Amino acid sequence: MTTPARPDIRPANPHFSSGPCAKRPGWSPEVLSGALVGRSHRASDGKARLKAVIEKSREILRIPADYRVGVMPGSNTGAFEAAMWSLLGARGTDILAWESFGKTWAKDAVDQLKLEDVNVYEADYGQLPDVTQVSFDRDVVFTWNGTTSGVRIPSADWITDNREGLTICDATSAVFAQELDWSKLDVTTWSWQKVLGGEAQHGMIALSPRAVERLESYTPPWPVPKLFRLTKAGALIDGIFEGATINTPSMLCVEDHLDGLAWAERIGGLPALIDRANTNLGVIKDWVSRAEWVDFLAEAPSVRSNTSVCLKIVDPEVADMEAASRDAVARDIAALLAEEGVAYDISSHRDAPAGLRIWTGATVEKADLEALTPWLDWAFATVKQRHKEAA
């Protein structure tokens, strides 16, 4: 393989991290100038800002009016753990896991909550479990978009309308980029730091009326930490869903997320966000079809994520290397591109197979991905040659 010429054009924004993700186009720190710094989040002005986050999120995501939406501590992890600790145990639980976070939820259910009546249906990275294995007489826990595998659920058609159990969905890298059928989802969580490029540590939760009913009629057999408590004295804590958060949020982050929501609204809302992510995935798809050394980790095109695109190196010479050398090639490609200031943070997740992970969500510009792909070819050829010479 001849090393291609060093590209002349660089991405204008080299931020392709899968979380925190790229800020929206045109973002600058000046958008934070109106943040209520030094003010109480429990004052009327602070609660109004938080309530605006809730209502704008509901509006853009088209969440039904009878669903309760709230801001949670601890990013998506905190929101999802709050759902698990507060809701599970009322009936049997089925868990779908095919990447790092889904496997974490399964481990927590078994090792921390010590659920006895639990089934875990797993699949390897790059594949989706057979979702028809689950029973909707039971609670069903799953991720919508596997951020660390690049594998997503293509639709919610497999979820029944007449279910007895709850569906509890980690949708953190899917919301604002993929269509969610809210009628199929009883509990949904996400974070600010993904598709709209918000800052870390703040999560969101959306509860269907069925989920609220469970919360108010069921008391788990284990103590629930304060940060996870959604009820008090058997009733939903309404304040969480009106802007009175469980703990202190960053008002700088609140202002930043309001800016991201306003941008989403300006460009056309959810359809425009989905279109941008799909277009960005198309750039990577077209490039992969030409590049012989790389392929999607997600095996079936129908389950490929349009946000967290995970790639594997399939070049035969690299495939014949020892495992440590193969891993080093992938890491060195990411490191070289970071040194060049072309792409930051595109190594695969530490728990995933060695490869590359490129964020293609709505805040990423198509032109930046188009500029990136020649650099990926150049970096691979350069790193491969270095490893051959060192062998």
Tell me if 132 sits within 8 A of 157, measured CB to CB.
no
Q: Could you give the 3-state DSSP secondary structure of residue 109?
A: helix
Last residue of one domain, picked from the residues 213, 236, 265: 265
pLDDT of residue 1: 54
Last residue of one domain, picked from the residues 234, 265, 296: 265
For residues 195 and 312, state if they share a domain: no
Q: Is residue 208 part of a domain?
A: yes
Query: What count of residues does the chain have?
Result: 391
Q: Report the C-alpha gap between 190 and 96 in whole angstroms.
A: 17
Report residue 42: phi and psi, to 5°.
-95, -5
Q: Is residue 11 part of a domain?
A: no
> For the chain, first and last CA: distance in Å?
17
For residues 321 and 290, state if they share a domain: yes
* pLDDT tens for each residue of 286-330: 999 999 999 999 999 999 999 999 999 999 999 888 888 889 999
For residues 220 and 324, state if they share a domain: no
Q: Domain holding 158: CATH number?
A: 3.40.640.10
pLDDT of residue 260: 98
For residues 311 and 355, state if they share a domain: yes
Is the four-CA dihedral 329, 335, 341, 344 of positive or negative sign? Answer: positive
For residues 175 and 277, state if they share a domain: no
β-pair type (68-73, 139-143): unpaired
DSSP assignment of 272-328 equals HHHHHHHHHHHHHHHHHHH-TTEEESSSSGGGB-SSEEEEEE--HHHHTS-HHHHHH
For residues 205 and 256, state if they share a domain: yes
For residues 96 and 176, state if they share a domain: yes
Last residue of one domain, picked from the residues 235, 265, 295: 265
Tell me if 296 sits within 8 A of 314, measured CB to CB.
no
Q: Is residue 321 part of a domain?
A: yes
Tell me if 130 sits within 8 A of 106, measured CB to CB.
no
Q: Is residue 10 part of a domain?
A: no
Q: Report the C-alpha gap between 243 and 50 in whole angstroms.
A: 5
For residues 280 and 252, state if they share a domain: no
Q: Is residue 37 part of a domain?
A: yes
β-pair type (167-170, 139-143): parallel
For residues 44 and 189, state if they share a domain: yes
Cis peptide before 220 (omega within 30 of 0): no
Domain that holds residue 384: 269-390
The DSSP output letter for 15 is B
| Tally of domains in the chain | 2
Q: Domain holding 365: CATH number?
A: 3.90.1150.10
Quick one: how far is CA 115 from the chain centroid? 26
For residues 175 and 251, state if they share a domain: yes
Q: Report the C-alpha gap between 293 and 314 in whole angstroms.
A: 5
Q: Which of 367, 379, 378, 360 is nearest to 16 (CA)?
A: 360
pLDDT of residue 319: 83
Residue stretches of the chain with pLDDT short of 70: 1-2
Q: Report the C-alpha gap between 70 and 85 in whole angstroms.
A: 17
Q: Is residue 21 part of a domain?
A: no
For residues 284 and 256, state if they share a domain: no
Q: Is residue 72 part of a domain?
A: yes
For residues 60 and 197, state if they share a domain: yes
Q: Report the C-alpha gap between 362 and 25 in whole angstroms.
A: 9
